[in-house]
Amino acid sequence: MASFLPTHLDTFLDSEINKIPNFIQNIKILKSATLTKLIKSEANRLGFEYCGVSKADFLEEEAPRLENWLNKNMNGSMTYMENHFDKRLDPRLLVPGAKSVISLLLNYFPSEKQVDDSAPKISKYAYGKDYHFVIKEKLNQLLLFIKERIGDVDGRAFVDSAPVLDRAWAKKSGLGWVGKNGNLINKNSGSFFFIAELIIDLELEYDGVMKDYCGSCNRCMQACPTQAIVAPQVVDGSKCISYFTIELKENIPTSVKGKFENWAFGCDVCQDVCPWNRFSKPHTESYFKPEKELLEMTINDWHEITEETFKRVFKDSAVKRTKFAGLKRNLDFLKTL
């Protein structure tokens, strides 16, 4: 018995030691799941409707798509899209040591719309305060929460103003699929969302990709006034009404006269016709509530707008991107149709 015990004990210890890596791995998985749940709960408290997480890695599928899109000059005069190509595809170049991309959606679908149906239209996302400021504040609060509750976590907040492919990350994070109109579509809530990210050096529990539910529907492609949706999930930015009314700084080409359907800033056509947006629900973000004066502007108010009125009505709005001269250019272009 005495000679048998050490051998038996050695076998037992070896067996238990071999279990340690799996035990440690299980602890890591449990910790990641707990931290992810904590972060998602805080994101919801801050007003984000959806929060998903994906592994910070190279976007292999997006690389050839982005390269092809740029080679075909679908970015038009938006030359900044050609910058930082590698960073757009690899978040670890934006945040060294990055392990997770936290994608967030913030609803902007309004409960009210412009009163005068004949008046020039602006995209719904621009009804309220400029989303860049609203979302950046929420992201900073979420990042601070992570640092305070979890510890030494490095990361950066991104909202539509850095080389980050928002829709690709939101898709990888399970928040929806990219529709034929190029917008991220959520099965339960449609597509009227802003997308934002936190890229951090913390390992979390990763979500799976959602199935594409567009099927054979191509209403968005048929409805686009300028035929900017040249293929499923491929939007020629240089043909989009949003590009002409916001990004383009020169005169709007005469080739698109009569095709704007009264859009003076942005365009919502491809979203308005999407069947999934029947599930859109009005947002609850007070900063996105439109000014009454904006909603009640008549066709005459728009075409007779002064710089003083522009500064008052749009003082905190994304419409300020066009400046007064840009908006007047758009309005004059509509008026000559």
Query: Mean pLDDT of all residues in the chain?
Result: 92
pLDDT over 60 at 337, yes or no:
no
User: What mean pLDDT comes out for the span 245-266?
Assistant: 96
pLDDT over 50 at 161, yes or no:
yes
pLDDT over 90 at 93, yes or no:
yes
Which pLDDT tens digit goes with each residue over 100-110? 999 999 999 99
pLDDT of residue 160: 87
pLDDT over 60 at 22, yes or no:
no
pLDDT of residue 29: 56
Q: How many angstroms separate the CA atoms of 70 and 83, rounded?
A: 11
Which pLDDT tens digit goes with each residue over 279-291? 999 999 999 999 9
pLDDT of residue 31: 82
According to DSSP, residue 188 is labeled T
Confidence of residue 1 (pLDDT cuts 50, 70, 90): very low
Q: Which residue has the higher pLDDT, 6 or 181?
A: 181
pLDDT over 60 at 271, yes or no:
yes
Q: Which long-range contacts (CB under 8 A, 24 or more apart) does 166-171 make?
A: 166/103, 166/195, 166/196, 166/197, 167/195, 168/59, 168/61, 168/62, 169/54, 169/91, 169/101, 169/103, 169/195, 169/197, 170/52, 170/103, 170/105, 170/195, 171/209, 171/210
pLDDT of residue 335: 86
pLDDT over 70 at 188, yes or no:
yes
User: Quick check: pTM over 0.85?
Assistant: yes
Residue 14 annotated in active site:
no
**57, 116, 154, 160: which one is catalytic?**
160
Q: Which residue has the higher pLDDT, 145 or 335?
A: 145
Q: Which residue has the higher pLDDT, 71 or 27?
A: 71
According to DSSP, residue 244 is labeled I
> Where are the chain's structural domains?
1-337
pLDDT of residue 162: 86
